[in-house]
Structure 1
Amino acid sequence: METHSVLSFTVALLGFLSPCLTRLTPRVSFPFGSPGRHLTRFSSYDVSNTTTLLLSEDGDVLYVGARDAVLALDVGHKDVITLRNKLDWRPSDKDLEQCSMKGKEMADCPNFIRVLQFLNASHIYACGTFAFSPRCTYVNSETLTMSIRPDEGRGRCPYDPYQRNTAIIVDGELYTGTVADYRGNRPVISRHLSEGRRVDLKLDDTLGWLEDPTFISSSFIPDEEKVYFFFSEVGREYDFIDKFIVSRVSQICMSDVGGQRTLQRRWTTFAKAQLLCQADNELPYNVIQDIDTLPPAEGASTDETLFYGIFTSQWSVNSGRSAVCSFRLSDIKSVFSGNYKVLNRDTLQWSTRVQEKVANPGECGLHNASDNALRFVKENFLADDSVRPVGRSLTMASAEHKYSHLTVQRVQAANNREYTVLFLLTETGYLHKSVLLQSGAHIIEEVQVFERPQPVKSLKLSVPKGVIYVGTSEGVVRLPTANCSFYWTCAQCVLARDPFCGWDTASRACVEASNTQTSVAQDIERGNVEETCNTVTLTHIARFGPNKMSAASCPTGELVPVALNEVVRLQCPAASKLSRQLWERPNSRLSSDLYLHLGDGSLSFVATPATLGHYLCLSTENGYQQTMAIYHVRQKSSPVVQTTSSYTRPRTRPTLATQAVSRSGSGQHTTGFWPEPKETRRQDTEPTQSTRDTQGVPRQRGKNVTLWTLGSGQNESGFVEGEPLPSARYPCYLKELVVVSVLLVLCLSLLITVLMYVIRQRCRRRTAPHAVTPSRESDRRTPLEQEALRRNQCLNKRTGLSPHSGQAGGSGCNGALTGSNGHLPNTPI
């Protein structure tokens, strides 16, 4: 528990001391399907899980290991990828049934090709998982047919399609790092296809040389005659309660044939060391994700070989972050030639005790050594020191993007200086193109390769062809490494700081630096536009005229007719993601009390006599300014029929469509490419009285201006362009107020009168005596009872006993009761 507490305190302390990572923002972003970045795709309804890519030496054929198939794609044409041949290699129904009986999902039982290597000039060696029973075979590279029947692939290919592995063929022999059993508990680094006096070799399973590894990559160094393996595993040398993952590099010699008595058919030159991707006062990035080898420059020593790797961290403090570290071959060799840790077989504890060396672990030629020397190297295979990154610092680190794959290329710029360019693939489907400068990493662009994130299995770079191939679960995507034609001005070409591209003053175009014989303008380190393009940044006086002339001398841009008290929002397009938008006015300051600078670079304010006039939007990047938009905000001249300026921006290239042209090659610079506005007539309905009182109603004025009506108060007088309106009057609404008040009083009086009448009627009904009228009870009497009742009423009236006598009632009774002879009916005469 004490060790665990110390570890937790150390992690917390290092996390607190860790400095904030520099935010790496791609300068230009190309969404999926953007016309500014051309991509070529290959997909087919019966092709999926392109897990392995192999490129021919001439770069015209791409061999793809997919699910149940090996493909040969013709990639020699620029704009299309076609299927040349296809080898179907799928398990039988019996194999699939056995795989299902082992408890595996049917989706994992097909044959996933995981090994694809050139054996010689005519054949390819291929291995697949084959329903959790690995198989390997020889494939003719021309006809894509099997030369022999597939044989067992145990120890050459993983059983599980989700387990990572690595394989490389050197001089006809296969060197692999994978697992050798069905459960994945026996990791091995082995050699196969040995002939003659050479025998196949592997690691001793009982020595614990590997601790639950995840194999990443392997690389062959010809001058060293060694094969290096890169993987991550559990670091048993650290006595932590939780499993601590470490990244490793291991080596074996090609001349190794095993010991005569000790370590028979086992490696005698195996050694491993820790790769430490860590900066000062920071937690280490201890989990390796991918690694690529960069050969030395022409004429340089093999020791200058660099290995660039992507690392992540298992610590929650660095969760979601990625780092890139580079390791020099000379540093790896120095660690392997140093001291080694000692493993106590009884306690399984490592110690750094230095003891007398009987042999040098990792040294080639130990197969003829004595048994005592072989026992020493058998137990001392872990280097005491760790391999530190170049410069003892991170090559680049990102807190926003989590990278999964990378490939690296050395590019020679126009000044004959070489730069390292990294192509990094994020887990969200973006490919970042980054150049390493003295000041740090600079991400030139990002390209969205996939519309939806999906598993990426491989990344292949073709330096001669200048393209990158990305293998996904759905197919293959190809994109060129250079995109110089996208930058159509000298300023943009220089600000990109792309070693592939330079500005050709003769053709006035941004071209690939390696494809032109003439000198091109570049400034990769600083990106200085003024010096490189021989241009001068416009000053405030140059933009608005000398001696602070009036606003009328400002260049005309887009006219924005507004009404007073409306909220105006002026858009400002960004030249790039690294640019910063600025707003200026002639002879005026943009006070924070009147103007609001929004996060997207736009400017918002309320239209008043003080805020009418010209506005200029500027984009600043790396000390270079360029005009992006010019607006002239003016008051409407008529409440009904208005004369406004219709303005349409010229159609240019995507994402920078509104950028100002900078004629840098000839030393000319313009403030914008807006022509003189053309006056057009347009009907615009004036808001009614009810809508004038409504606040916050948006109205679009073109695509770059949004107006919001705050309330009444339009001035119907005319406006002289370029002059303020200090004497502008607000309209009076006294008459309207009086009319509304009188109407309100009348409505209230009428409402009170109606209410009193209704109340009075209800009171009368409740207090009035009941009249002798037919009721519901009379309706319920029989006809005889009703006739008798009428007789009684008439008799009472005749005798004067009726309290409610009347003329109409008497006549009614007489008419009802008296017959034709004047006597009562049904009475005897």
Structure 2
Amino acid sequence: MTPDGAMLILLPVLCLFSGASWAATLGGQEGDYNREDILDPKSFGGVTNFSTFLLDRSSGMLFLGARDAILSVDTNDLGKPPLNITWDVPEEKRRSCVAKGKTEVDCHNYIRLLEFLEEGRIYVCGTYAFDPQCAFLELSTFTLEKAEDGGVRMETGKGKCPFEPSQHYTAVMAGGTLYTAATSNFLGTLFDISRATGPEQERIRTERSINWLSDPEFVSSAFIEQSADSNPTGDDDKIYFFFTEVAKEYDLYTKVKVPRVARVCKSDVGGMKTLQRRWTTFLKAQLVCEDKPSGERYNILTDVFTMQHTQGDPSSTHFYGLFTSQWEHEELSAVCVFSLTDINKVMDGPFKELKKTCENWINPEPVPTPRPGQCLNNALKAEGFESSLKLPDKVLTFVRDHPLMENSVTAAPLLMRKGIRYTKLAVTQTGSGEEPRGAVLHLGTDRGELHQVEVMGQNATLLKEIHLFTPQEPVNNILLHKGQALVGSPLSLARVQAEGCALYPNCEVCARARGLGCEWISEACTKTTAKPGPGDMVDDALRKCVRKDERCSPPPRELQVSMGLRLLLPCVQLSPRPCSWDHPPHRHTRQHHSDLEVTVTEESLGKYTCTCQEVGPGTRDPTPCRRAIYHLTVESPSAGGTMATAAGRHVLAIYILFFVGGIVFGIFLLYFITRRRSISRQGHHLPDNSLSSEKGRDLLGSSATPQSPSSASLLSEGFRLTEKRNGTATSTTTTTLLSNQGNGGHHGNSYSGTLIHSNPSNGHGNTLYANCNTSSSGLKFAEILAADMLDGRTGERERVRPEGGERESGEGNEVDEGLGDGLAEGIKGLEEELASFPMFKSPAPLAQCEESSI
């Protein structure tokens, strides 16, 4: 065969191979969510680190505080380019910040505060390279106010904004005055809850005492404004702060963290002699989120969402708290709700005191009058206490020494989830008037997901799990507006439907919303005007979907699996208590909330049963209900469904690879033998340059095919698939990763009967990755096959490192002694001939490569 003939055969094969890779790459980019409702990092022009959201509900404009910038996004039309204001730190100040021991990344201006002011302005505060500064943003022109010298008009932000970008912080505007909870020094060792703006003599803060604040992590704040109609006693308005701190009341060998709620009064201006420029109304109480049946207590507060259950009635305010546990090694999350009424009852209760002699906490006696920490009202003003400056010293001394209340504000979890960590929470209320009330919890995760959970009575139902961002982007903001949730991460922004019957994806969960006016009609959950009759409630609606005995006795499902596979067994959770699994005794499982991840081995084959606790109408104690039964057996040739389809694609791809590889190798072999015989006839001698004794030769940089008799596997010494710079492979090598297509990309409802989830973490099915590149010096390629492992719900696929393309030699030496040398010379000659073709003289474009979610 002549070299020209070999090239005529080789070119179509290479084109076919590249075309298949490109088509497979494009075919796997379907998402499980409308990508038009998501603004990715490219949409923001390089601006990152979004930490603060502020929404103008009248216009729908969303303001985002980022690193060195403030952005404005029109939530009514996400297609409009965002407006951008740059507010960065001068280079000299950044260098000074780094010289003080801070990292260069932190020595920027991270916008941590956005609050509306009067006259169409926004108060903006940033860390400003560990020297907090504040500025004023004009909404009409969307510019920062200028000083006389032409720069940004700034004022100190100390006490208004944290020094460090990652420090816990919260702030709220009350009647045009800013109240903050933040660190107040460069080192981050002093903590204050303060009135940060207003007249200088009224700017007061907490006492510097561990009895007041003990290494707190501030979470949230809320201003509760009393209306004249609902406040006949003339009680003062209050500001509430939520945080986690180290408890001083527990004398244990380790630091115990407890969640707290603190309260101050809006008209408090401090004491005359005692507690000068300090709060005279600062009181705090412990929040207890505990599941008594299991004894599990959640003591780390992560987020708080404030909502009035009855519009216009501040006394109906409830605080939905998101918790995790200090003691659990695995990821754990819970949601508890606390009413404003219960909090005020505890604040009006007994105080807790530390007796110095034996260091035991006891109830103090006696409590002076007027009551310490009490907000001003009409009765106190009638007694001559028009201001906190007129309070007696004994009252101020008592509140200084006893800020903690004896009783705790307790609640049982609405929801408990294992194997997942929630970061943000928002709540929409369902039902109105006399209809049954429920709530939909919108929960952001630390892996860029949004979970929507419906809570009705004592039952919680997972509605949807939406994968919005990459797993490296935790959800850090959720705002509700016009039936939609605006979800943010440090890099992206998404808009998601938050209300309506469309949230309920199947008949069973739609039935649980029957009291909310939803009904399952024509394979969809739709709004109905027909009110439920006396016997037409949740249980009756459930019977229309499936008989009750079948609901707790699901038919067993047999799954034929292969060894080493990682799969996720789904289980629908209807109760706020975690579901449990019975399975063969081995250690190859891990529970992701109610679902179970299994690594298939010989010991893991067998029966898997998921049991959940449910509470029915008229009963108070939960009863066990089996929700899923699976039998894992070894995969057979007749295995169908998703696994069979995926396996078939995988095997077919392997056959194609070996077929193409065989053709190419045969062409090379014929060409090299012909060339060697021709050289031999001319009397030339080949130098001894065989690679057979050099194991580990650089696979990417070598122009020869390495052959090592000691290499035990085709996948022995390769390179990492993910080693790319700016989307380009670091070498001129075609790399092909064949992967399972799974069961498609749809993952809006993870309980739609799908047993094995395929890469749902970014909404895409698995794709065939291909990086095709040629250089002007010639064409070099190696085919590397990698197996991937399914990681269940999170959609992660462990990329098995492709090992080197060395193949077992032994028969290569049997051709003759100089074949290795001929191969080296032959490949070099082939590269020169390929380089002579015009199509190989310029680099070929890389196929667009979808990053895997790891």
Scaled to the shorter chain, the TM-score interval is 0.5 to 0.7
Between the aligned partners of 2:535 and 2:469, the Cα distance in structure 1 is 32
Tell me, yes or no, if the aligned pair for 1:438 and 1:525 is still in contact at 8 Å: no
Quick check: 1:287 aligned with 2:306?
A: no
Tell me the equivalent position of 1:209. 212
Secondary structure of the corresponding residue to residue 260 of structure 1: coil
Tell me, yes or no, if the aligned pair for 1:166 and 1:177 is still in contact at 8 Å: yes
The alpha-carbon deviation at position 353 of structure 1 amounts to: 3.4
Between the aligned partners of 2:498 and 2:133, the Cα distance in structure 1 is 36
CA offset digits 1:52-77 (Å, max 9, x no partner)? 11111226111100111111101113
- Seen in structure 2, the aligned counterparts of structure 1 residues 412 and 568 have a Cα distance that, compared at 3 Å, is closer
Tell me the equivalent position of 1:333. 344
- Seen in structure 2, the aligned counterparts of structure 1 residues 596 and 176 have a Cα distance that, compared at 3 Å, is closer
Between the aligned partners of 1:285 and 1:536, the Cα distance in structure 2 is 36
The alpha-carbon deviation at position 177 of structure 1 amounts to: 0.1
1:269-668 aligned within 5 A: 269-280=281-292, 282-298=295-311, 302-316=314-328, 319-343=330-354, 349=359, 351-359=361-369, 360-365=371-376, 366-389=388-411, 393-412=412-431, 416-462=435-481, 465-482=482-499, 484=501, 491=507, 494-495=510-511, 497=513, 502-503=518-519, 510=524, 513=527, 526=538, 528-529=540-541, 578=572
TM-score by length of 2: 0.56
Secondary structure of the corresponding residue to residue 405 of structure 2: coil
Between the aligned partners of 2:129 and 2:237, the Cα distance in structure 1 is 36
Quick check: 1:93 aligned with 2:105?
A: no
The alpha-carbon deviation at position 424 of structure 1 amounts to: 1.2
Tell me, yes or no, if the aligned pair for 2:116 and 2:122 is still in contact at 8 Å: yes
Tell me, yes or no, if the aligned pair for 1:494 and 1:522 is still in contact at 8 Å: no
Between the aligned partners of 1:347 and 1:90, the Cα distance in structure 2 is 54
Match of 2:258 among 232, 237, 246: 246
Tell me, yes or no, if the aligned pair for 2:461 and 2:573 is still in contact at 8 Å: no
Tell me the equivalent position of 2:181. 177
- Seen in structure 2, the aligned counterparts of structure 1 residues 498 and 401 have a Cα distance that, compared at 3 Å, is farther
Tell me, yes or no, if the aligned pair for 2:423 and 2:476 is still in contact at 8 Å: no
Between the aligned partners of 1:175 and 1:357, the Cα distance in structure 2 is 29
| Letter of the structure 2 residue corresponding to residue 290 of structure 1 | D
- Seen in structure 2, the aligned counterparts of structure 1 residues 501 and 443 have a Cα distance that, compared at 3 Å, is farther
Between the aligned partners of 2:751 and 2:413, the Cα distance in structure 1 is 38
Between the aligned partners of 1:258 and 1:332, the Cα distance in structure 2 is 23
Identity %: 31
The alpha-carbon deviation at position 459 of structure 1 amounts to: 1.8
Tell me, yes or no, if the aligned pair for 2:237 and 2:265 is still in contact at 8 Å: yes
The alpha-carbon deviation at position 219 of structure 1 amounts to: 0.6
- Seen in structure 2, the aligned counterparts of structure 1 residues 437 and 655 have a Cα distance that, compared at 3 Å, is closer
| Letter of the structure 1 residue corresponding to residue 143 of structure 2 | T
- Seen in structure 2, the aligned counterparts of structure 1 residues 494 and 274 have a Cα distance that, compared at 3 Å, is closer
Tell me the equivalent position of 1:142. 140
Tell me the equivalent position of 2:125. 127
Secondary structure of the corresponding residue to residue 289 of structure 2: coil
Tell me the equivalent position of 1:164. 168
Tell me, yes or no, if the aligned pair for 2:465 and 2:749 is still in contact at 8 Å: no
Between the aligned partners of 1:258 and 1:524, the Cα distance in structure 2 is 58
- Seen in structure 2, the aligned counterparts of structure 1 residues 499 and 175 have a Cα distance that, compared at 3 Å, is farther
Between the aligned partners of 1:504 and 1:521, the Cα distance in structure 2 is 16
CA offset digits 1:575-599 (Å, max 9, x no partner)? 995499xxxxxxxxxxxxxx99997
Indicate the RMSD between aligned Cα atoms, in angstroms: 4.2
| Letter of the structure 2 residue corresponding to residue 49 of structure 1 | N
The alpha-carbon deviation at position 475 of structure 1 amounts to: 2.0
The alpha-carbon deviation at position 142 of structure 1 amounts to: 3.0
Secondary structure of the corresponding residue to residue 326 of structure 2: coil
Between the aligned partners of 2:285 and 2:140, the Cα distance in structure 1 is 41
Tell me, yes or no, if the aligned pair for 2:39 and 2:492 is still in contact at 8 Å: yes
Secondary structure of the corresponding residue to residue 230 of structure 1: strand
CA offset digits 1:603-646 (Å, max 9, x no partner)? 99999xxx9xxx999xxxxxxxxxxxxxxxxxxxxxxxxxxxxx
| Greater Rg over alpha carbons, structure | 1
Between the aligned partners of 1:472 and 1:233, the Cα distance in structure 2 is 26
CA offset digits 1:63-99 (Å, max 9, x no partner)? 100111111101113xx34334221100000110111
Between the aligned partners of 2:272 and 2:266, the Cα distance in structure 1 is 17
Aligned length, in residue pairs = 530
Between the aligned partners of 1:568 and 1:50, the Cα distance in structure 2 is 43
Point out where structure 2 has 5 or more consecutive residues left out of the alignment.
Answer: 1-28, 147-152, 227-235, 377-387, 551-559, 563-567, 575-604, 609-628, 642-743, 754-854
Tell me the equivalent position of 1:592. none
- Seen in structure 2, the aligned counterparts of structure 1 residues 37 and 95 have a Cα distance that, compared at 3 Å, is closer
| Letter of the structure 1 residue corresponding to residue 255 of structure 2 | K
The alpha-carbon deviation at position 524 of structure 1 amounts to: 11
- Seen in structure 2, the aligned counterparts of structure 1 residues 128 and 522 have a Cα distance that, compared at 3 Å, is farther
The alpha-carbon deviation at position 298 of structure 1 amounts to: 4.2
Between the aligned partners of 1:340 and 1:579, the Cα distance in structure 2 is 41
- Seen in structure 2, the aligned counterparts of structure 1 residues 656 and 251 have a Cα distance that, compared at 3 Å, is closer
Tell me the equivalent position of 2:829. none
Between the aligned partners of 2:32 and 2:280, the Cα distance in structure 1 is 54
The alpha-carbon deviation at position 220 of structure 1 amounts to: 0.9
Point out where structure 1 has 5 or more consecutive residues left out of the alignment.
Answer: 1-30, 540-566, 581-594, 618-650, 661-829
- Seen in structure 2, the aligned counterparts of structure 1 residues 456 and 230 have a Cα distance that, compared at 3 Å, is same
| Letter of the structure 2 residue corresponding to residue 435 of structure 1 | E
- Seen in structure 2, the aligned counterparts of structure 1 residues 89 and 529 have a Cα distance that, compared at 3 Å, is same
Between the aligned partners of 1:333 and 1:395, the Cα distance in structure 2 is 22
Between the aligned partners of 1:59 and 1:443, the Cα distance in structure 2 is 33
Tell me the equivalent position of 1:768. none
The alpha-carbon deviation at position 309 of structure 1 amounts to: 0.7
Tell me the equivalent position of 2:68. 68
The alpha-carbon deviation at position 279 of structure 1 amounts to: 2.6
The alpha-carbon deviation at position 466 of structure 1 amounts to: 1.1
TM-score by length of 1: 0.57
Quick check: 1:107 aligned with 2:118?
A: no
Secondary structure of the corresponding residue to residue 244 of structure 2: strand
1:774-793 aligned within 5 A: none
Tell me the equivalent position of 1:697. none
Tell me, yes or no, if the aligned pair for 2:505 and 2:524 is still in contact at 8 Å: yes
Match of 2:81 among 80, 83, 100: 83
- Seen in structure 2, the aligned counterparts of structure 1 residues 477 and 520 have a Cα distance that, compared at 3 Å, is farther
Between the aligned partners of 1:475 and 1:154, the Cα distance in structure 2 is 29
